[in-house]
Amino acid sequence: MSEQLDILCVGLSCLDIINEVSYYPEEDMDCRCVAQWWQRGGNAANNCTVLGLLGARPAYLGTIADSHEKRFLLDDFAKYGVNTDHLVEVGGCSCPTSCVILSQTTGSRTIIHANAGLPELSVDDFSKVDLTVFDWIHFEGRNVANVVKMIEVVRKHNQKHQDSKSITISVEVEKAKAELDALIPLPDVLFVSKDYAKFKGFSNMAETVEKIQTQAYPGCLVICPWGEAGASMGREGSELVKSPAFPPTKVVDTLGAGDTFNAATIFALSRGYSHSSSITFACRLAGAKVGVQGWEAFR
Ligand code: ADP
Ligand code: FRU
């Protein structure tokens, strides 16, 4: 019998090399880190970490380079109870890597990302996965042309399995990129980041939810986190639901705040919490995350 899983996250897994500095350096400076460490990163991989910590049964799906970093990434997935049976190993390319500058003064995280050609997940790879074990599939907003087709695969699956519980589809549009527009009309639950919202010319989360709703899938729940302002969510025809942020005593590490928020929202909604409780829970958890370093201290 296959392992009982519930939430599949599709997207990037990469290596994050974190350089913790007492303050953000000036250009051309020669400075020393307070500390430096490796962390498993990538939005979908981070979503899985948080879902694992919350006691869900997450699975990760994406490509992974068959390079020397692979063992570190796989061991770390296992440490957080994330199933990686479906991931696709690719030989002959390097592991996508982010060099992150984490400032102790502000908790800001500056990300310099390199991906020297790891191929993206194909629709064929996705079609090989037994979807019947999942209640929810979350797609990171990348690899757009293929993700559009993967969502079609899930919609067809849902039509064929109307007798059983259908799979909820969520998508995150995060990066300020026009190609992500194609994903807006597709999912049941849509996360829209502040960066993408600003790129579209929206100035706050209420405006973002209201305007994006008109382009979204019928009945889609649109969710917009906005840093220290908290988050809002809404569905056409119903009232906007809001939560404030819950700042910790000191902000120490904002890397993955959005990933924490998204994972916590998915967890709460999938467990049947109300919209209002889900968004408040997600802001509380993301607030707690930015108050601690990395994921280990977050256990
Ligand atoms: P990203 O990490 O993708 O830029 P955001 O900055 O929008 O994402 O943050 C996501 C969520 O994390 C917010 O909705 C908020 O709940 C929480 N959060 C982020 N920064 C802070 C902060 N400085 N204090 C408290 N909560 C925060
Ligand atoms: C945080 C993150 C990092 C990764 C980067 C990729 O949201 O997923 O872990 O290095 O973004 O864009």
Regarding the beta carbon of 129 and ligand 1, being less than 6 Å apart is answered no
Q: Is the pLDDT of residue 112 over 80?
A: yes
- As a whole number, mean pLDDT of residues 214-236 equals 97
Q: Is the pLDDT of residue 1 over 50?
A: no
CB atoms within 10 A of CB 47: 31
The whole-angstrom separation of Cα 261 and Cα 124 is 30
Residues 140-155 have pLDDT tens digits of 999 999 999 999 999 9
pLDDT at site 90: 97
Q: Mean pLDDT in the chain?
A: 95
pLDDT at site 2: 46
Which ligand is nearest the CA of 195, by number?
A: 1
Question: Residue whose CA is closest, atom 6 of ligand 2?
Answer: 42
Alpha-carbon dihedral 139, 142, 146, 152, rounded to 10 degrees: 30
Q: Is the pLDDT of residue 103 over 60?
A: yes
Question: Residue whose CA is closest, atom 5 of ligand 1?
Answer: 227
How much of the chain exceeds pLDDT 90, in percent? 93
Q: Is the pLDDT of residue 116 over 90?
A: no
With contact defined as beta carbons under 8 Å apart, do 93 and 117 qualify? yes
Regarding the beta carbon of 47 and ligand 1, being less than 6 Å apart is answered no
Residues 8-50 have pLDDT tens digits of 999 999 999 999 999 999 999 999 999 999 999 999 999 999 9
What ipTM does the predicted assembly reach? 0.98
Residues 153-170 have pLDDT tens digits of 999 999 998 777 899 999
- As a whole number, mean pLDDT of residues 229-252 equals 96
Alpha-carbon dihedral 133, 134, 135, 137, rounded to 10 degrees: -170
pLDDT at site 165: 80
Question: Residue whose CA is closest, atom 17 of ligand 1?
Answer: 286
- As a whole number, mean pLDDT of residues 259-263 equals 98
Q: Is the pLDDT of residue 125 over 70?
A: yes
pLDDT at site 4: 63
Tell me the C-alpha to C-alpha distance, in Å, between residue 183 and each of 2, 152, 193: 31, 12, 13
Q: What spacing in Å lies between the alpha carbon of 120 and ligand 2's midpoint? A: 16
Regarding the beta carbon of 283 and ligand 1, being less than 6 Å apart is answered yes
Question: Residue whose CA is closest, atom 9 of ligand 1?
Answer: 227
Tell me how far the alpha carbon of residue 239 is from its chain's centroid: 25
pLDDT at site 109: 95
**271 dihedral zone (left: phi>0; alpha: psi -120 to 50; beta):** alpha
Regarding pTM above 0.80, the answer is yes
Tell me how far the alpha carbon of residue 297 is from its chain's centroid: 19
The whole-angstrom separation of Cα 123 and Cα 130 is 13
Which ligand is nearest the CA of 98, by number?
A: 2
